[in-house]
Amino acid sequence: YMAVTAHWLQLVLEDRGNGLQPQLRLRADLIGFHCVPSSHTSEHLVAAFLYILNRIKITNKIGWITMDNATNNDACMEALEQTLRKRGIAFDKLQHCIRCVYFNKSIAVYCSK
Protein backbone atom coordinates (compact mmCIF):
# COMPACT_ATOMS: atom_id res chain seq x y z
CA TYR A 1 0.00 0.00 0.00
CA MET A 2 1.01 3.62 -0.50
CA ALA A 3 -0.20 6.50 1.63
CA VAL A 4 0.21 10.07 0.36
CA THR A 5 -0.11 13.05 2.67
CA ALA A 6 -0.26 16.59 1.31
CA HIS A 7 0.92 19.65 3.24
CA TRP A 8 0.08 23.17 2.10
CA LEU A 9 -0.59 26.72 3.23
CA GLN A 10 -4.18 27.93 3.08
CA LEU A 11 -5.05 31.62 2.98
CA VAL A 12 -7.97 32.36 5.29
CA LEU A 13 -9.60 35.61 6.39
CA GLU A 14 -9.96 36.01 10.15
CA ASP A 15 -11.76 38.70 12.09
CA ARG A 16 -9.33 39.91 14.73
CA GLY A 17 -11.45 42.77 16.01
CA ASN A 18 -10.18 45.24 13.42
CA GLY A 19 -11.79 43.69 10.36
CA LEU A 20 -10.89 40.71 8.28
CA GLN A 21 -7.18 40.01 8.12
CA PRO A 22 -5.48 37.46 5.83
CA GLN A 23 -3.76 34.61 7.68
CA LEU A 24 -1.85 31.57 6.46
CA ARG A 25 -2.74 28.21 7.99
CA LEU A 26 -0.64 25.07 7.66
CA ARG A 27 -2.83 22.23 6.45
CA ALA A 28 -2.12 18.51 6.12
CA ASP A 29 -4.41 15.74 4.95
CA LEU A 30 -4.20 12.17 3.77
CA ILE A 31 -5.00 12.53 0.07
CA GLY A 32 -4.54 8.95 -1.02
CA PHE A 33 -4.20 5.41 0.22
CA HIS A 34 -3.71 3.07 -2.70
CA CYS A 35 -2.86 -0.57 -3.17
CA VAL A 36 0.45 -1.01 -5.00
CA PRO A 37 -0.04 -4.03 -7.28
CA SER A 38 2.32 -6.98 -6.78
CA SER A 39 5.95 -6.12 -6.02
CA HIS A 40 7.10 -2.63 -5.06
CA THR A 41 9.16 -1.94 -8.17
CA SER A 42 9.86 1.64 -9.19
CA GLU A 43 7.35 1.30 -12.04
CA HIS A 44 4.56 0.16 -9.71
CA LEU A 45 5.38 2.84 -7.12
CA VAL A 46 5.40 5.65 -9.71
CA ALA A 47 2.16 4.39 -11.25
CA ALA A 48 0.42 4.33 -7.84
CA PHE A 49 1.81 7.75 -6.86
CA LEU A 50 0.79 9.40 -10.12
CA TYR A 51 -2.63 7.74 -10.00
CA ILE A 52 -3.26 9.48 -6.66
CA LEU A 53 -1.93 12.87 -7.82
CA ASN A 54 -3.65 12.76 -11.22
CA ARG A 55 -6.98 11.81 -9.65
CA ILE A 56 -7.09 15.02 -7.62
CA LYS A 57 -5.30 17.12 -10.25
CA ILE A 58 -2.21 18.17 -8.28
CA THR A 59 0.53 16.44 -10.30
CA ASN A 60 2.05 19.80 -11.27
CA LYS A 61 2.19 20.91 -7.61
CA ILE A 62 4.66 18.34 -6.23
CA GLY A 63 7.03 19.84 -3.69
CA TRP A 64 9.06 17.32 -1.72
CA ILE A 65 8.68 13.60 -1.21
CA THR A 66 9.67 11.91 2.06
CA MET A 67 10.77 8.29 1.89
CA ASP A 68 13.16 5.80 3.42
CA ASN A 69 16.48 4.65 1.93
CA ALA A 70 15.20 1.57 0.11
CA THR A 71 16.85 1.04 -3.28
CA ASN A 72 13.48 0.81 -5.01
CA ASN A 73 12.70 4.33 -3.75
CA ASP A 74 15.83 5.67 -5.46
CA ALA A 75 14.72 4.00 -8.70
CA CYS A 76 11.21 5.37 -8.11
CA MET A 77 12.51 8.94 -7.89
CA GLU A 78 14.50 8.42 -11.10
CA ALA A 79 11.42 7.10 -12.92
CA LEU A 80 9.24 9.88 -11.48
CA GLU A 81 11.69 12.54 -12.65
CA GLN A 82 11.70 11.11 -16.19
CA THR A 83 7.91 10.77 -16.32
CA LEU A 84 7.25 14.29 -15.04
CA ARG A 85 9.81 15.86 -17.36
CA LYS A 86 8.13 14.16 -20.33
CA ARG A 87 4.95 15.93 -19.22
CA GLY A 88 6.76 19.28 -19.04
CA ILE A 89 6.80 19.37 -15.22
CA ALA A 90 10.07 20.52 -13.67
CA PHE A 91 11.23 17.96 -11.09
CA ASP A 92 14.66 17.00 -9.78
CA LYS A 93 14.94 13.64 -8.02
CA LEU A 94 17.68 14.85 -5.66
CA GLN A 95 16.27 18.27 -4.78
CA HIS A 96 12.73 16.98 -4.19
CA CYS A 97 13.56 13.98 -2.00
CA ILE A 98 13.72 14.12 1.80
CA ARG A 99 14.98 11.04 3.61
CA CYS A 100 12.95 10.00 6.64
CA VAL A 101 14.96 10.94 9.74
CA TYR A 102 13.21 8.44 12.01
CA PHE A 103 13.88 5.58 9.62
CA ASN A 104 17.57 6.49 9.50
CA LYS A 105 17.73 6.70 13.30
CA SER A 106 16.10 3.29 13.70
CA ILE A 107 18.62 1.76 11.29
CA ALA A 108 21.49 3.35 13.25
CA VAL A 109 20.15 1.99 16.54
CA TYR A 110 19.57 -1.45 15.04
CA CYS A 111 23.09 -1.57 13.56
CA SER A 112 24.68 -0.50 16.85
CA LYS A 113 23.29 -3.54 18.71
Domain coordinates of the chain in residue numbers? 2-112
| pLDDT computed for residue 93 by the predictor | 94
Confidence of residue 67 (pLDDT cuts 50, 70, 90): confident
> What is the H or E stretch that residue 85 is in?
helix 71-86
Is residue 20 a contact partner of residue 27, using CB atoms and an 8 Å limit? no
Is residue 29 a contact partner of residue 46, using CB atoms and an 8 Å limit? no
Quick check: 26 pLDDT over 60? Answer: yes
| pLDDT computed for residue 101 by the predictor | 67
The residue-averaged pLDDT of 78-82 equals 96
| pLDDT computed for residue 68 by the predictor | 82
| pLDDT computed for residue 17 by the predictor | 86
| pLDDT computed for residue 91 by the predictor | 95
Which residues are paired to 34 by β-bridges? 2
Residues 6+ apart with CB under 8 A from 22: 11, 12, 13
Residue environment code for 46-79, b if the CB has 16+ CB neighbours within 10 A, otherwise e: bbbbbebbeeeeebeebeebebeeeebbebbbeb
- The model carries a pTM of 0.77
